């Protein structure tokens, strides 16, 4: 019985570590703030902080579902525009959702 409890404890600890490591990817992706929304509104009239937050969430959910999340700076520097649009198509991200992600990424790298 003691061996069984140790095995369950070890599995629980391993699962906790995996969940913690997986969560690190999304937490490293910057969250937009009011100054970001002001800048984005000048670039794309009508853009709000909620739009940028939705773009971040879409980036984390859609892109992070298939591969490691890269910093917005890395995505913009190395993947715009061709690779970004190819990946969006592969993930079945619609035009409006793709725009939200792009606006978030470009704003995060300003």
Give the pLDDT confidence of 45-97 residue by residue, as tens digits: 999 999 999 999 999 999 998 899 999 999 998 888 889 999 999 999 989 99
What residue numbers bound the domain in which 78 lies? 2-108
Which DSSP state fits 80? T
Q: What is the 3-state secondary structure (H, E, C) of 20-65?
A: HHHHHHHHCCCCCCHHHHHHHHHHCCCCCHHHHHHHHHHHHHHHCC
Mean pLDDT of the chain: 83
Please count the structural domains in the chain.
1
Question: Predicted confidence band at 5 (pLDDT cuts at 50, 70, 90)?
Answer: very low
What is the structure's pLDDT at 12? 46
Rg (CA), the chain: 18
The interaxial angle of helices 95-108 and 49-58, nearest 10 deg, is 100
pTM of the model: 0.74
């Amino acid at each position: 019985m003691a061996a069984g409890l140790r095995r369950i404890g070890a599995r629980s600890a391993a699962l906790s570590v995996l969940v913690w490591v997986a969560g690190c990817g999304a937490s490293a992706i910057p969250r937009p703030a009011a100054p970001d929304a002001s800048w984005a509104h000048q670039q794309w009239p009508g853009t709000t902080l909620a739009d940028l937050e939705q773009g971040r969430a879409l980036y984390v959910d859609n892109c992070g579902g298939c591969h490691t999340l890269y910093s917005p700076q890395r995505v913009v520097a190395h993947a715009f525009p061709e690779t970004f649009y190819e990946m969006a198509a592969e993930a079945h991200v619609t035009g409006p959702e793709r725009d939200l992600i792009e606006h978030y990424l470009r704003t995060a790298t300003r």
